[in-house]
Amino acid sequence: MAKLKLYEYPHPILKQKTEKFVAVDDDVRKFLDDMLETMYAEAGVGLAAPQVGVSKRAVVIDIAHEGEEPAPLYMVNPEIIWRSEETEICEEGCLSLPEQRAEVERPASVKIKYLDYNGKSCELLAEGFLAVAVQHELDHLDGILYIDHLSRLKRQMLVKKLSKYQKTRQKEA
Protein backbone atom coordinates (compact mmCIF):
# COMPACT_ATOMS: atom_id res chain seq x y z
CA MET A 1 0.00 0.00 0.00
CA ALA A 2 1.11 3.53 -0.57
CA LYS A 3 0.08 6.86 0.81
CA LEU A 4 -1.24 9.15 -1.93
CA LYS A 5 -0.83 12.89 -2.36
CA LEU A 6 -3.78 14.92 -1.11
CA TYR A 7 -5.20 17.66 -3.30
CA GLU A 8 -6.50 20.71 -1.50
CA TYR A 9 -8.88 23.52 -2.33
CA PRO A 10 -8.66 25.42 -4.69
CA HIS A 11 -7.17 22.71 -6.95
CA PRO A 12 -9.42 22.45 -10.06
CA ILE A 13 -9.66 18.64 -9.90
CA LEU A 14 -11.93 19.07 -6.88
CA LYS A 15 -14.48 20.90 -9.05
CA GLN A 16 -14.60 18.27 -11.81
CA LYS A 17 -17.31 15.68 -12.41
CA THR A 18 -15.78 12.20 -12.27
CA GLU A 19 -16.06 9.16 -14.52
CA LYS A 20 -17.33 5.68 -13.67
CA PHE A 21 -15.04 2.67 -13.38
CA VAL A 22 -15.69 -0.04 -15.97
CA ALA A 23 -15.25 -2.83 -13.40
CA VAL A 24 -13.63 -3.53 -10.02
CA ASP A 25 -10.38 -5.29 -10.88
CA ASP A 26 -7.06 -5.70 -9.03
CA ASP A 27 -5.87 -2.24 -10.12
CA VAL A 28 -9.02 -0.68 -8.69
CA ARG A 29 -8.64 -2.68 -5.46
CA LYS A 30 -5.05 -1.52 -5.10
CA PHE A 31 -6.23 2.06 -5.57
CA LEU A 32 -8.94 1.54 -2.90
CA ASP A 33 -6.30 0.15 -0.50
CA ASP A 34 -4.08 3.19 -1.11
CA MET A 35 -7.03 5.54 -0.60
CA LEU A 36 -7.87 3.87 2.71
CA GLU A 37 -4.26 4.05 3.91
CA THR A 38 -4.13 7.74 2.98
CA MET A 39 -7.40 8.41 4.81
CA TYR A 40 -6.23 6.62 7.99
CA ALA A 41 -2.87 8.42 7.85
CA GLU A 42 -4.69 11.76 7.75
CA ALA A 43 -7.20 10.72 10.43
CA GLY A 44 -10.12 11.26 8.05
CA VAL A 45 -13.48 9.45 8.13
CA GLY A 46 -13.95 9.57 4.37
CA LEU A 47 -11.99 10.14 1.18
CA ALA A 48 -13.05 10.48 -2.45
CA ALA A 49 -10.86 9.73 -5.49
CA PRO A 50 -10.62 13.37 -6.72
CA GLN A 51 -9.01 14.27 -3.37
CA VAL A 52 -6.03 12.14 -4.39
CA GLY A 53 -6.00 13.47 -7.94
CA VAL A 54 -8.03 10.75 -9.66
CA SER A 55 -11.19 11.89 -11.43
CA LYS A 56 -13.08 8.59 -10.98
CA ARG A 57 -16.11 7.46 -8.98
CA ALA A 58 -14.71 5.79 -5.85
CA VAL A 59 -14.89 6.62 -2.15
CA VAL A 60 -13.72 5.02 1.10
CA ILE A 61 -15.39 5.66 4.45
CA ASP A 62 -14.73 4.46 7.99
CA ILE A 63 -16.71 6.09 10.77
CA ALA A 64 -15.52 3.70 13.53
CA HIS A 65 -14.30 5.61 16.58
CA GLU A 66 -10.73 5.50 17.81
CA GLY A 67 -10.09 2.28 19.69
CA GLU A 68 -12.89 0.47 17.84
CA GLU A 69 -12.32 -2.20 15.18
CA PRO A 70 -11.77 -0.52 11.81
CA ALA A 71 -14.87 -0.87 9.60
CA PRO A 72 -13.90 0.33 6.13
CA LEU A 73 -16.54 0.80 3.45
CA TYR A 74 -15.34 0.80 -0.15
CA MET A 75 -17.72 2.20 -2.75
CA VAL A 76 -17.16 2.13 -6.50
CA ASN A 77 -19.59 3.95 -8.82
CA PRO A 78 -21.89 4.86 -5.91
CA GLU A 79 -25.17 6.66 -6.45
CA ILE A 80 -27.88 7.91 -4.13
CA ILE A 81 -31.17 6.24 -5.02
CA TRP A 82 -33.31 7.69 -2.21
CA ARG A 83 -33.13 10.70 0.13
CA SER A 84 -35.30 11.31 3.22
CA GLU A 85 -37.36 14.49 3.36
CA GLU A 86 -36.28 14.97 6.94
CA THR A 87 -32.99 16.86 7.17
CA GLU A 88 -30.31 17.17 9.82
CA ILE A 89 -27.58 19.70 10.52
CA CYS A 90 -24.12 18.37 11.25
CA GLU A 91 -20.67 19.93 11.50
CA GLU A 92 -18.42 18.82 8.64
CA GLY A 93 -14.75 19.06 7.79
CA CYS A 94 -12.77 17.88 4.78
CA LEU A 95 -9.17 16.77 4.22
CA SER A 96 -9.10 19.04 1.16
CA LEU A 97 -9.94 22.06 3.33
CA PRO A 98 -7.68 21.41 6.34
CA GLU A 99 -8.44 22.85 9.78
CA GLN A 100 -11.85 24.22 8.73
CA ARG A 101 -15.32 23.14 9.83
CA ALA A 102 -18.88 24.32 9.19
CA GLU A 103 -22.45 23.20 9.81
CA VAL A 104 -24.21 21.73 6.77
CA GLU A 105 -27.86 20.72 6.37
CA ARG A 106 -28.54 17.51 4.43
CA PRO A 107 -31.18 14.76 4.19
CA ALA A 108 -31.08 12.76 7.46
CA SER A 109 -30.91 9.40 5.67
CA VAL A 110 -30.11 8.18 2.18
CA LYS A 111 -30.12 4.90 0.31
CA ILE A 112 -27.16 4.21 -1.95
CA LYS A 113 -26.27 1.68 -4.59
CA TYR A 114 -22.62 0.85 -5.29
CA LEU A 115 -20.09 -1.84 -6.14
CA ASP A 116 -18.11 -3.14 -3.17
CA TYR A 117 -14.42 -4.18 -2.93
CA ASN A 118 -15.20 -7.41 -4.79
CA GLY A 119 -17.30 -5.74 -7.45
CA LYS A 120 -20.56 -7.00 -5.94
CA SER A 121 -23.59 -4.73 -6.36
CA CYS A 122 -24.79 -3.53 -2.92
CA GLU A 123 -27.44 -1.31 -1.42
CA LEU A 124 -27.10 0.48 1.89
CA LEU A 125 -29.45 2.58 3.98
CA ALA A 126 -27.25 5.18 5.67
CA GLU A 127 -28.48 7.07 8.72
CA GLY A 128 -26.96 9.37 11.32
CA PHE A 129 -23.30 10.27 10.83
CA LEU A 130 -22.86 7.62 8.12
CA ALA A 131 -25.50 9.44 6.02
CA VAL A 132 -23.50 12.66 6.43
CA ALA A 133 -20.22 10.99 5.45
CA VAL A 134 -21.74 9.24 2.42
CA GLN A 135 -23.35 12.43 1.08
CA HIS A 136 -20.19 14.46 1.66
CA GLU A 137 -18.02 11.92 -0.20
CA LEU A 138 -20.48 11.36 -3.05
CA ASP A 139 -20.67 15.14 -3.53
CA HIS A 140 -16.92 15.07 -4.23
CA LEU A 141 -17.59 12.80 -7.22
CA ASP A 142 -19.73 15.54 -8.74
CA GLY A 143 -17.24 18.31 -8.04
CA ILE A 144 -19.20 19.59 -5.03
CA LEU A 145 -17.56 20.54 -1.74
CA TYR A 146 -19.37 20.97 1.57
CA ILE A 147 -18.72 24.71 1.41
CA ASP A 148 -20.90 24.80 -1.72
CA HIS A 149 -23.85 24.12 0.63
CA LEU A 150 -23.09 27.24 2.72
CA SER A 151 -24.28 30.79 2.16
CA ARG A 152 -21.99 32.91 0.02
CA LEU A 153 -20.86 34.93 3.02
CA LYS A 154 -20.06 31.88 5.17
CA ARG A 155 -18.23 30.28 2.25
CA GLN A 156 -16.11 33.38 1.62
CA MET A 157 -15.17 33.62 5.29
CA LEU A 158 -14.17 29.96 5.44
CA VAL A 159 -12.12 30.15 2.22
CA LYS A 160 -10.32 33.23 3.56
CA LYS A 161 -9.44 31.43 6.80
CA LEU A 162 -8.31 28.39 4.81
CA SER A 163 -5.97 30.33 2.53
CA LYS A 164 -4.51 32.08 5.59
CA TYR A 165 -3.89 28.67 7.18
CA GLN A 166 -2.34 27.29 3.97
CA LYS A 167 0.03 30.29 3.75
CA THR A 168 1.16 30.00 7.38
CA ARG A 169 1.73 26.27 6.96
CA GLN A 170 3.82 26.92 3.85
CA LYS A 171 6.01 29.36 5.77
CA GLU A 172 6.52 26.91 8.62
CA ALA A 173 7.42 24.05 6.27
Residue placing its CB nearer to Zn ion in the complex, 22 or 51: 51
Residue placing its CB nearer to Zn ion in the complex, 32 or 94: 94
Q: Report the alpha-carbon angle 145-151-156, nearest 5.
A: 75
Beta bridge partners of 60: 47, 74
Residue placing its CB nearer to Zn ion in the complex, 94 or 158: 94
Catalytic residue among 86, 99, 137, 172: 137
Q: Footprint of Zn ion on this chain (CB under 5 A)? A: 94
List the one residue out of 110, 114, 95 whose CA is nearest residue 48. 95
The b-or-e profile of 43-56 (16+ CB within 10 A means b, else e) is ebbbbbbbbbebeb
Give the nearest distance from C-beta 26 to Zn ion in angstroms. 27
Q: How far apart are CA 26 and CA 12, in angstroms?
A: 28
Residue placing its CB nearer to Zn ion in the complex, 44 or 76: 44
Mark whether 92 is an active-site residue.
no
Give the nearest distance from C-beta 54 to Zn ion in angstroms. 14
3-class DSSP assignment, residue 112: strand
Report which residue's Cβ sits closest to Zn ion: 94
Give the nearest distance from C-beta 145 to Zn ion in angstroms. 7
Beta strands in 96-169 (DSSP E): 97-107, 109-115, 121-127
- The residues that are catalytic are 137
